[in-house]
Structure 1
Amino acid sequence: MSYAQVAVDETKLSGHEGPEAAVGAAVRRARAAAPAWDALGHRERGARLLRWRRVMTRRLDEIVGLLEDEAGKVRADALIELAAAFEHLGWAARNAGPVLRRRSVRSGLLMLHQRSTVEYRPYGVIGVIGPWNYPVHTPLGSVSYALAAGNAVVLKPSEHTPGTGRWLADTFAEAVPDSPVFEVVTGDGAAGAALCRSGVDKVAFTGSPGTGARVLAACAPTLTPVLLELGGKDALVVAEDADVDAAVEAALWGGCSNAGQSCAGIERVYVAEAVHERFLQRIAQRARDIEGGADGDYGRMALAGQLDVVRRHIDDALARGARAVAGGPESVVPPYVTGPVVLADVPEDADAVREETFGPVLVVNRVRDAAEGVARTNASAYGLGGAVFARRGGVRLARSLHAGMVSVNDVLTFTAVGALPFGGRGRSGFGRIHGADGLREFAAPQALTRRRFAPPLAVQTFARGPRDMVRFERLVRRRGAR
């Protein structure tokens, strides 16, 4: 049997009870296993997580096949996803100790008699709701960091990629048979809602803004904290002095790899007037060399409904006076978009500019200069990632973008750097996965003070005397005046 065949919907097994019973049982098992996992300490947990990575690497062909079957990826896109996922798993395993361990902090003059420390303690059980577009890399951005921080995890993969979620649980059980801290429950949105209500200590969700709002609402009655990694409408700004050929290649890769189904993929390109015509001619030419299909450069659209969104965005842009310089409505041939669609002169109020397309469609618009490109980029309600191409001043332009991550003279490179946090602002969500910020996202800071000796000024006691308060007031005035 394949993983897709055995990954039955557990919400159906529980009959009239719906998903609550299956999800609740998984959470109880995870909670029972969590204390022993926490007690292992950072070093031992890290060793087990690295063992998990070795098992997944040994069984690489299985997961590549699953990603091809369930998510419609071509082999190259599957391998790129797995490489990034393994990188983050390794970073979390090796860096949880240095980031989260107890450390001393200065107590300051007023509290000189206290020794002060801070450390990050695991929440307990983390619920993770994963997406279908990157069903390994994206959930592991939460799962691996949560496990490294000492939590148990219950993952609800997308109902479109249940076999991938099962494979992750199976390989973890093989690598770490003595620590059953990674549970997987399959099902649709009802299972995700049940996970939000199950009493987990935090929920990490990746998906659309609309579903993210529903997750937030489901967690609100119990005040369960939530991490939301939502959509994007990321832009590439091409400055007057940019390397045009390099920017064209980056735009096509950023917009069309994984069939454009990337939350941080490039969907808008703002090109300075001085190089606009050259950029447009070059991208139209190069787009014709790229093909979508089972044997093409990128794979199929994972969901039929997403093809409808792509078609609607193309039609709306053309109806508003845009030009298709590569591809067009004829490129939408279910289940593929047969080649990149490049739209020029698209009005800023068109759907293809305002809404997330999530397909291999690029909007290329002329701007006066890079500064105007930044302004148009920032006008979006989204704020996930972005990119800037410029020979001079690229970092300055990047820092002015309202985005959680930006690449300079490249695209999407931040996704595979273990030490960098990943997350957005606005409609792109809040909270961070990856890096030190990602580890701290799954651990609660605990401040601790320990008295070392009697304070020279005993004012935090009712045994204080008038002289103590006179001296204390003098000290307050002196320090406040500095």
Structure 2
Amino acid sequence: MNLVSTNPNTMEVIGEITCTDINSFNTLIEKSKAAQSYWKEITIDNRIKIFKRVKEILYNEREEIARLITKENGKPLFESYSTEIIPTLSILNYYIKKARKFLKPHFERIKIPVMIHKKSWIEYEPYGVVGIISPWNYPLLLPMGRIIPALISGNAVIFKPSEWTPLVGEKIDSLFKSAGLPENVLQTIYGGAEIGEALVKSNIDKLFFTGSTRVGRIISKTAAEKLLPVSLELGGKDPAIVLPDADLDRAAMGIVWGSVMNAGQTCVSVERVYVHEQIFESFLNKLIELVSQLKAFDNSPYYDYSNIKLQAQVDIIREHIEDAISKGAKIIYGGKFDKNKVEPTILIDVNHSMKVMKEETFGPLIPVMKFKTIEEAIALANDCDYGLSASVWTKNISLGKSIARKIQSGSVLINDCISYFGAGEAVVGGIKMSGTGRVNSRSGIMEMVFEKYYNYDTFTWQKKLWWFNYSEKSTKIIKEATQFLFDKNPLRKLISGVKVFPELLKRK
């Protein structure tokens, strides 16, 4: 069976890839485990050398890769650079510079006086073989954001790209092969849900999934049966709050971009807009003006938004609009559908009984709701099962920070949206139904390792006062030790210390 890759703008078939044999998983895992046992012993400096070559190859082939993303995903070439190529190079840069520091063992001094002779330290161990399942909406950036820290920290990776963008997945695989990554340290598998399910059920050591909350729940249940650690980056319903003092031109431009970029097919896109009643009409007028200037795909190389990649997503977008209208909402711009082409749509008179304000749309809709007070805006922003990201638009940065701290989400941007996703330094991840785990920054590489604690005694001759056998005398000593360690009275501490100290010098 083959995966057929189609351009959503032209419906042209651009390539095919043979699906992975589901019966080959045991062999795949064995190869990965054997490769990982070798790979983890390679020094971090030598691993980093390979990633420098990956970065160089990606940069040199950037035009070819950007055009492949545009063909397979549909997004404008501009966005293939701005939201895929540039952020991926940035993340490579970040971990090339920081991985050595993040993974360096560190000593932990034990300060309990009866243990001051102990030496202890923490090392970071790779999990082993990790599975990475990635979506189609950012087919380069999202998988690379996981693959880079996973490999650089010493794991082997089994990578399943989306069945809707397998050609970009194949290109990722070739980048690492060309850079000299040892055989089987990265294996790429192809197929639909059945291949993803087989990966979850296989003998991997950790799973990373990026995709819908619905599928994330299924994966969580399957993983829980065998206590497989999972990291889930799921859906969002990100709010934008526009305060009366905001620069309306800038806020409108930012929110239109945050709603329609990648045709709204972004987990951290702006999906709900709350505007103060004093500026509501002015803001709407600016939204309409900006959206009306956007250019749909029309066979020219330069356009602002593409068709929707999947017909199932078109159906959800249509359902959200129809549900909103049936409950009193009005379309003030857009609303037209032509097969998988969806016109950016502005809705007003919306409320939280509507799907468009509560469920992830994943399309170019801008529902705008009026608020009177800041407290009301915060309550509306938090009235959601998702908690991925949010934005606040105001000239008063102190006020913006105050509001941001009260919003229940994994991140809040003030006077911007989405752009943090491509910065290696930025922590990305959600709460509530938006998932678990984190991407990028130190947190991203810590997801790929577990802390292993080491400790040794310098007094190899010592008999511990807490060892067997317990007696009346040893019980008195442990009580004195408690007083020595925690009593606030210096004299009592001193007296107890004098009694305890000889016991610490006893030989076995």
- TM-score by length of structure 1 reads 0.93
Q: In the alignment, which of 21, 29, 32 is matched to residue 30 of structure 1?
A: 32
Structure 2 residue 93 is matched with structure 1 residue 93: no
Residue of structure 1 equivalent to 2:338: 333
Matching residue's letter, 1:92: Y
Provide the secondary structure at the position in 2 that maps to 1:121.
strand
| Structure whose alpha-carbon radius of gyration is higher | 2
Structure 2 residue 136 is matched with structure 1 residue 102: no
Q: 23-32 vs 193-202, which deviates more?
A: 23-32
For 2:77 and 2:355, the matched residues in 1 are separated by 31
For residues 191-238 of structure 1, the C-alpha deviation after alignment (integer angstroms, 9 at most, x for no partner) is: 000101110100000111111111112222321111111000001111
Taking a change above 3 Å as real, the CA distance of residues 453 and 237 of structure 1, as seen in their structure-2 partners, is: same
Q: 451-460 vs 195-204, which deviates more?
A: 451-460
Residue of structure 2 equivalent to 1:258: 262
Shift of 1:44: 1.6
Residue of structure 2 equivalent to 1:58: 60
Q: In the alignment, which of 408, 427, 446 is matched to residue 421 of structure 1?
A: 427
Residue of structure 2 equivalent to 1:39: 41
Q: 397-406 vs 106-115, which deviates more?
A: 106-115
Shift of 1:70: 1.4
Residues 332-481 of structure 1: pairs in structure 2 closer than 5 A:
332-338=337-343, 340-392=344-396, 393-453=399-459, 458-462=464-468, 469-481=475-487
Structure 2 residue 14 is matched with structure 1 residue 8: no
Q: In the alignment, which of 314, 317, 321 is matched to residue 310 of structure 1?
A: 317
For 2:237 and 2:222, the matched residues in 1 are separated by 26
Shift of 1:31: 1.4
Aligned residues: 471
For residues 48-72 of structure 1, the C-alpha deviation after alignment (integer angstroms, 9 at most, x for no partner) is: 1121111111111222122112111
Shift of 1:24: 3.1
Q: In the alignment, which of 140, 143, 147 is matched to residue 139 of structure 1?
A: 143
Percentage identity across paired residues of the two chains: 31
Matching residue's letter, 1:191: I
Matching residue's letter, 1:43: D
Matching residue's letter, 2:62: L
- TM-score by length of structure 2 reads 0.88
Residue of structure 2 equivalent to 1:175: 179
Q: In the alignment, which of 73, 83, 86 is matched to residue 83 of structure 1?
A: 86
Gaps of 5+ in 1: none
Shift of 1:478: 4.7
For 1:174 and 1:223, the matched residues in 2 are separated by 36
Shift of 1:274: 2.0
Residues 98-137 of structure 1: pairs in structure 2 closer than 5 A:
98-109=101-112, 110-137=114-141
Matching residue's letter, 1:57: Y
For 1:75 and 1:371, the matched residues in 2 are separated by 41
| 4+ long deviations beyond 4 Å | 2-7, 454-457, 463-469
Contact 2:390/2:411 (CA < 8 Å) preserved in 1? yes
Matching residue's letter, 2:395: R
Matching residue's letter, 1:30: S
Provide the secondary structure at the position in 2 that maps to 1:402.
coil
Matching residue's letter, 1:418: G
For 1:271 and 1:478, the matched residues in 2 are separated by 61
For 1:186 and 1:62, the matched residues in 2 are separated by 22
Provide the secondary structure at the position in 2 that maps to 1:52.
helix
Residue of structure 2 equivalent to 1:277: 281
Provide the secondary structure at the position in 1 that maps to 2:92.
helix
Shift of 1:92: 2.1
For 2:323 and 2:461, the matched residues in 1 are separated by 72
For 1:169 and 1:219, the matched residues in 2 are separated by 26
Residue of structure 2 equivalent to 1:20: 23
Taking a change above 3 Å as real, the CA distance of residues 177 and 145 of structure 1, as seen in their structure-2 partners, is: closer
For 2:278 and 2:153, the matched residues in 1 are separated by 50
Contact 2:50/2:181 (CA < 8 Å) preserved in 1? no
For 2:254 and 2:180, the matched residues in 1 are separated by 40
Contact 2:330/2:348 (CA < 8 Å) preserved in 1? yes
Provide the secondary structure at the position in 2 that maps to 1:203.
strand
Q: 244-253 vs 471-480, which deviates more?
A: 471-480
Residues 62-73 of structure 1: pairs in structure 2 closer than 5 A:
62-73=64-75
RMSD: 2.1
Taking a change above 3 Å as real, the CA distance of residues 455 and 475 of structure 1, as seen in their structure-2 partners, is: farther
Residues 153-192 of structure 1: pairs in structure 2 closer than 5 A:
153-192=157-196
Matching residue's letter, 1:95: K
Provide the secondary structure at the position in 1 that maps to 2:99.
helix
For 2:462 and 2:482, the matched residues in 1 are separated by 14
Shift of 1:469: 4.8
Matching residue's letter, 1:33: A
Contact 2:127/2:450 (CA < 8 Å) preserved in 1? yes
For 1:165 and 1:96, the matched residues in 2 are separated by 24
Taking a change above 3 Å as real, the CA distance of residues 242 and 481 of structure 1, as seen in their structure-2 partners, is: farther
For 2:159 and 2:100, the matched residues in 1 are separated by 24
Matching residue's letter, 2:43: G
For 1:455 and 1:27, the matched residues in 2 are separated by 45
Contact 2:4/2:17 (CA < 8 Å) preserved in 1? no
Shift of 1:353: 0.6
Contact 1:314/1:352 (CA < 8 Å) preserved in 2? yes
Matching residue's letter, 1:365: M
For 1:367 and 1:248, the matched residues in 2 are separated by 17
Contact 1:77/1:298 (CA < 8 Å) preserved in 2? no
Matching residue's letter, 1:105: E
Shift of 1:153: 0.4
Taking a change above 3 Å as real, the CA distance of residues 193 and 156 of structure 1, as seen in their structure-2 partners, is: same
For 2:157 and 2:16, the matched residues in 1 are separated by 18
Q: In the alignment, which of 215, 218, 222 is matched to residue 214 of structure 1?
A: 218
For residues 120-140 of structure 1, the C-alpha deviation after alignment (integer angstroms, 9 at most, x for no partner) is: 100111100110111111111
Matching residue's letter, 1:96: A
